[in-house]
Structure 1
């Protein structure tokens, strides 16, 4: 049995969990409860696929883009690097992450918060500068992640960083919780659900300590 440490980097999802203003919040009701004649509890939930840690589909920012159920899983599974750029917003510039780019794996997650605001919406969230994503892609990065609700500023109407992702065919994870994760390399596991027509999917994002025997 493996003794590799795991970090759960997903925020809690519950009624009252923060969502982008105007987005559908998480709601749950009980369709059935254990009682005489009913042996199970069964719940019914409604939510935006952008609640909690989630993977955006190309359909989210491109009317002709693929839904999340058609997106390949490989980018969401494998070696990644966590880089700290804490309180360096509003945009994560190249200079903020340049200290941690040697021998870069194909997945990069950036921590911007000292303590992620998992119980409230943060309209002043930090985002990626589009040029930072461009340069990461040039180094072979295929997935970028962040511990805020968006890779673009909350008030952006042009979604410049999402458009870089679209143009270069990258994948994105948002709303991660990296508070307890030191800078360094890990194995990322953050698979989206096979929602065949959705613009995003919740993920249970975890990081696993790398096996010292792995290449």
Structure 2
């Protein structure tokens, strides 16, 4: 069995989605001053590698607290794809329905983490997102969003979250994953619209 960490570490000043609160990791107590160490964390529910719950964009959508812990362990198909110059993950990239709970699109975009280019990322077409929802797949991507940068309508999010699917964003370390893995995507236990998650692929 091989375990691979697919999460970006939570760090002070790490990249965030445009308009989201900054991530802060600051000492609240130090060994020199207090004889022990404590840090204060300030971050949004969509910082770093994180899960989107339906309530993120759906008025009556479920929060993470409405899912049992078993909902965050997925038998996943990994699709290594090249979105091309147009940057789209299309219907043809979506594997046929089978015995998987999720599909993870590995585009290599996490290589641009921490650069300006990371913001201009691949995205799912609305039809591809609808196909994933129709096949009852949760979806993971190695970029900031399943919708393109600057989107205001968020069609891919609505296709997936409106069907009760979960979305994993800002995955990393996907390049060497085989086509099938068990994906453990356990969020911080907060009853909210999303949460940072420690994501581990098992093969």
Report if TM-score (shorter chain) is over 0.5: yes
Q: Does 1:60 align with 2:56?
A: yes
CA distance in 2, matches of 1:193, 1:93: 31
- TM-aligned CA distance change 1:128 to 1:72, over 3 Å: farther
1:19-34 equivalences under 5 Å are: 19-34=16-31
More helix by share: 2
CA RMSD of aligned residues (A): 2.0
1:148-167 equivalences under 5 Å are: 148-167=143-162
Query: How many residues matched?
Result: 201
Which stretch shows the higher mean deviation, 125-134 or 147-156? 125-134
Q: Paired residue for 2:193, among 187, 191, 199?
A: 199
- With normalisation by structure 1, the TM-score equals 0.84
Q: Paired residue for 1:5, among 2, 7, 28?
A: 2
- TM-aligned CA distance change 1:183 to 1:208, over 3 Å: closer
- TM-aligned CA distance change 1:64 to 1:35, over 3 Å: same
8 Å Cα contact 2:105/2:140 also seen in 1: yes
CA shift for structure 1 position 151? 0.6
CA shift for structure 1 position 24? 1.0
Q: Paired residue for 1:15, among 9, 12, 16?
A: 12
Q: Paired residue for 2:176, among 170, 181, 187?
A: 181
Rg (Cα) greater in structure = 1
8 Å Cα contact 1:57/1:68 also seen in 2: yes
Gaps of 5+ in 2: none
Deviations 1:14-38 (A, max 9, x none): 12311111211211221111237x3
- TM-aligned CA distance change 1:159 to 1:9, over 3 Å: same
- The aligned counterpart of 1:135 is 131
- The aligned counterpart of 1:51 is 47
CA distance in 2, matches of 1:67, 1:102: 26
CA shift for structure 1 position 155? 0.9
CA distance in 1, matches of 2:178, 2:115: 25
Q: Paired residue for 1:90, among 80, 87, 90?
A: 87
- The aligned counterpart of 1:70 is 66
- With normalisation by structure 2, the TM-score equals 0.89
- TM-aligned CA distance change 1:84 to 1:161, over 3 Å: same
